[in-house]
């Protein structure tokens, strides 16, 4: 009887507990790092996980990273954003000129992860990539891959800012909504997040010897893993 009452109480508590909103920075083919974070976070169906883009290129396991993200859809509320490297990858499917440029900036590793040819990309990967979102917004935060114009709504933001411009090139102010911005794209070579209060950058340079960062945006709890899948203590 006691066990039944305890189970009922725990179930009721969980039903009233809001899920977490967790942002994950630029993965860049570091599938082992992503796997380690997913394991330690242990997401549930109530959690929202916002991945900030750049899942592919430079690291060795772009295909494996996409596989994990597709599987994550079944475990939580995944909000995958479009990064500039996914934008290049999609354009490379249509243009030889873009393909050649993309390979020079990290795409070659992605092609190798698919067995040496983009023709071997699984259909479900293409569906995933073509369905990536430009931004995400909650009551307290905005999420974009790269940068933003503080005076414009998210729907009005140009792709040049959302996908390409580093925050060190043009540091924005607090967004007009008053919400905290969570971004990636600008690599923090120190392995530490950039926290300006109103803006947090969590691209901590995993593929280059840093860490892949996951951040609970409400509590500030943070998890990091390197490309070998070792958690940071």
pLDDT digits 0-9 by tens, 114-132? 999 999 999 999 999 999 9
pLDDT by residue (tens digit) across 54-98? Answer: 999 999 999 999 999 999 999 999 999 999 999 999 999 999 999
More confident residue, 140 or 17: 140
Instruction: Give the domain extent around 206.
Output: 22-225
Dihedral of the CA atoms 60, 37, 121, 94 (nearest 10)? -80
pLDDT by residue (tens digit) across 199-229? Answer: 999 999 999 999 999 999 999 999 999 999 9
SS3 content of the chain, % helix, strand, coil (to 5): 35, 15, 45
Residue 92 lies in a domain: yes
Confidence (pLDDT) at 207: 97
Assign 17 a pLDDT band (cuts: 50, 70, 90).
Answer: low
Query: What CATH number corresponds to the domain at position 109?
Result: 3.60.21.10
Residue 95 lies in a domain: yes
Domains in the chain, number: 1
The counts of H helices and E strands in the chain are: 8, 10
Residues in Cβ contact with 178 at an 8 Å cutoff, skipping those fewer than 6 apart: none
Residues in Cβ contact with 80 at an 8 Å cutoff, skipping those fewer than 6 apart: 50, 51, 53, 55, 69, 128, 131, 132, 133
Half-sphere exposure of 174 (CA within 13 A, CB side): 10
Residue 165 lies in a domain: yes
Residue 8 lies in a domain: no
Residue 232 lies in a domain: no
Residue 14 lies in a domain: no
pLDDT by residue (tens digit) across 181-194? Answer: 999 999 999 999 99
Confidence (pLDDT) at 1: 45
Residue 189 lies in a domain: yes
**Strand order across the 212-216 sheet:** 77-80, 48-51, 21-24, 212-216, 222-225
Per-residue pLDDT for 53 more than 70? yes
Whether 57 and 129 have beta carbons less than 8 Å apart is answered as no
């Amino acid at each position: 009887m006691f066990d039944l009452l305890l189970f009922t109480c725990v179930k009721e508590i969980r039903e009233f507990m809001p899920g977490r909103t967790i942002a994950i920075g630029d993965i860049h083919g570091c599938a082992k790092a992503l796997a380690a974070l997913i394991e330690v976070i242990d997401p549930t169906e109530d959690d929202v996980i916002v991945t900030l883009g750049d899942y592919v290129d430079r690291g060795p396991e772009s295909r494996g990273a996409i596989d994990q993200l597709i599987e994550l859809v079944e475990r939580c509320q995944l909000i995958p954003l479009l990064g500039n490297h996914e934008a290049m990858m999609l354009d490379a499917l249509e243009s030889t000129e873009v393909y050649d440029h993309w390979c020079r900036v990290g795409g070659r590793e992605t092609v190798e992860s698919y067995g040496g040819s983009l023709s071997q990309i699984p259909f479900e990967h293409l569906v995933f990539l073509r369905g990536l979102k430009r931004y995400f917004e909650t009551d307290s935060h905005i999420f974009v891959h790269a940068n933003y114009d503080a005076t414009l709504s998210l729907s009005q933001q140009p792709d040049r800012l959302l996908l390409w411009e580093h925050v060190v090139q043009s540091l924005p102010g607090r967004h007009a909504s008053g919400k905290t911005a969570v971004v990636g794209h600008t690599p923090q070579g120190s392995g530490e997040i950039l926290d300006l209060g109103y803006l947090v950058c969590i691209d901590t340079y995993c593929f280059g010897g840093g860490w892949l960062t996951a951040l609970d945006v409400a509590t500030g709890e943070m998890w990091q893993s390197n490309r070998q899948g070792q958690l940071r203590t």
